[in-house]
Amino acid sequence: MDGAPRDLPRHRRPARPLAAEAGRWGTLRLATTGRRTGRAHKVILGYIEDGQDYVTLAMNGWAAPEPAWWLNVQANPDATAEVAGRTVAVHVRAAVGAERDRLWALWRSVDKDLDGFAARRPAETAVVILTPRADR
């Protein structure tokens, strides 16, 4: 089904990104460059679409520390995202001000408990925009 050996436990099989649908979120696989090691790292993230952009949240299971992928893209904002079976070169940045407020409200329309979960963190959760780059 997903091309992984069937003898691997389900949680060890490679995850397949799922496309977002209207009013729902999907998953993408983000490939980043380690800020200290320079090595490639991959992570599965939930996202919603906003025009051509993919929008995710920099959360670590709603715990206090920032996720490593977010620290990595702050140091090297050019990454790649595997979305719905295609690989897209992206530039990653945090939304700020009115743009952040608008995108947070968009996420809130998908997850009614978002504010309650975010309140568990001691700092504001970054709303992260992945914009496709023209160079790929």
Q: Which residue has the higher pLDDT, 11 or 79?
A: 79
Q: Which two tokens stand for residue 108?
A: 């809130």
Return the pLDDT at 79. Answer: 98
Cα–Cα distance, 112 to 95 (Å, whole number)? 20
Instruction: State which fold the 17-132 domain adopts.
Output: Pnp Oxidase; Chain A (2.30.110)
| Cα torsion 104, 73, 45, 119: sign | negative
- In this structure, the number of other CB atoms found within 10 A of the CB of residue 34 comes to 15
Q: What is the mean pLDDT of residues 22-35?
A: 87
pLDDT single digits (tens) 105-134 = 999 999 899 999 999 989 999 999 999 998
Q: What is the mean pLDDT of residues 14-39?
A: 77
> Which DSSP letter does residue 111 get?
-
